[in-house]
Amino acid sequence: MGWLVTIIVGFIVGVLAKILHPGKDNLGFIMTTLLGIGGSLLAGWVGQSAGWYEVGQPAGWIASTIFAVIILVIYTRVFKK
């Protein structure tokens, strides 16, 4: 059940990141989900290590989306088509 929740949360965060990032992102369903999962993992590690928030707080969603946007910006800069 944990993997399913991770995939769903990753997809939601990935979609939010794509909405917030201007420009055309040619990412499909799988890459959008991986983007959101990566943003969530990075935000969870940084945010909880720094003591910014605990597991399950709404700040985690915000941080996950922000980190996913950062990953998307880096991705579009490196893999410009």
pLDDT in tens, 10-39: 888 989 888 888 877 778 888 888 888 898
Query: pLDDT tens-digit profile of 41-54?
Result: 888 888 888 888 77
Q: Which of 3, 14, 7 is nearest to 66 (CA)?
A: 14
Instruction: Region of 23 please: left (phi>0), alpha (psi -120 to 50) or beta.
Output: left
- Give the global pTM: 0.84
Please tell me the predicted confidence (pLDDT) of residue 69.
Answer: 92
Q: Which residues lie closer than 8 Å to 20 by C-beta, 6 or more apart? A: 65, 69
The domains of the chain are located at 3-79
